Amino acid sequence: MKRTSWFTVTSLTLGFAFLYLPMVLLVIYSFNSSKLVTVWAGFSTKWYGELMQNEEFLDAALVTLKVAVASSTLATLLGTMAAYVLVRGGRFMGRTLFSGMIYAPLVMPEVITGLSLLLLFIGVGLDRGVLTIVLAHTTFSMCYVSVVVSSRLVSFDRSLEEAALDLGCSAFDAFRLVTLPIIAPAVISGWLLAFTLSLDDLVIASFTTGPSATTLPIKIWSAVRLGVSPEINALSTIMIAIVTVGVISASLVSKRSAIKAQQDMQAAERGAT
């Protein structure tokens, strides 16, 4: 047992205060009844009411959700395929280029990705709107999915797949019945990651959207450029609440399933001896 020194306690307290204080203040001031955001004038939920009436925000939220669901699902499919190819695919022509294209988007500045995709869409004459944002988001988030899934694929025992093949499974059945259940947690967290990346993206969406589709970040952006507004504070609070509930429940579920997996393993070992 290590001694918890004053240094540990201070650095953690100050550090986490720095990380969380701005968001806590944002949440508190979303309940401020004053229009002046920095002057506290009493508790009120009126900004939430106004937000619910604001159809532009609701429309933008709907577009954002559509884009996020479509792009993260597509990205999960493509990213899982790409991870499988990278880890299990063996050698094929252009493998280096392929893995380069998987890793490059992770470190690419968003302005460059956005600019290049826009120029492509204009070049091929594709109308900009929901479809082009989905294509753009799928492209960069499939790379994140593939990194998450491939780290799981690397760590699991390949002989399980081989055993299934020996016992007469076709390659596809072996994937469906053995590989997929094992990598499922990584696939799910890859989907969640892709989903949040898409919800969150401002720069790439600004480049690839047209007048027909405004996503929530674009809407928030044009509002916050004019300064702080209580409605945006309310909207931010709702988004922070959703994320907090989501992350905490996901971590509880994964903790439970980890315990269950451990119990299964122990039971299997007992059975074997």
Task: Name residues contacting other proteins, limited to 213-232 (CB under 8 A).
Answer: 217, 220-221, 224-225, 227-228, 232
- DSSP annotation of 156 reads S
Residue 185 within binding range of other proteins, rule CB under 8 A = no
User: 146 near 82, Cβ under 8 Å?
Assistant: yes
174 CB neighbour count, 10 Å cutoff: 20
Q: Considering only residues 20 through 79, tell me which ones interact with other proteins, judged by CB under 8 A.
A: 20, 22-23, 25-26, 29, 37-38, 78-79
Taking CB under 8 A as the criterion, the residue among 15, 33, 160, 265 binding other proteins is 15
Taking CB under 8 A as the criterion, the residue among 71, 72, 76, 139 binding other proteins is 139
Q: Residue 83: is it exposed, middle or buried by C-beta count within 10 angstroms (0-12/13-18/19+)?
A: buried
Q: Considering the complex, what minimum distance in angstroms separates the CB of residue 124 from other proteins?
A: 9
Which range binds other proteins by CB under 8 A, 45-53, 115-123, 156-164, 176-184?
Answer: 115-123
Amino acid at 246: G
Taking CB under 8 A as the criterion, the residue among 59, 105, 126, 188 binding other proteins is 105
Which range binds other proteins by CB under 8 A, 52-60, 136-144, 177-185, 264-272?
Answer: 136-144
Alpha helices in the chain (DSSP H): 6-29, 46-53, 55-88, 95-107, 110-123, 130-155, 158-166, 171-174, 180-200, 203-208, 216-224, 230-272
Taking Cα atoms as reference points, which of 154, 156, 144 lies closest to residue 189? 144
Nearer to other proteins, 251 or 266 (CB): 251
Taking CB under 8 A as the criterion, the residue among 34, 49, 58, 89 binding other proteins is 89
User: 193 near 144, Cβ under 8 Å?
Assistant: yes
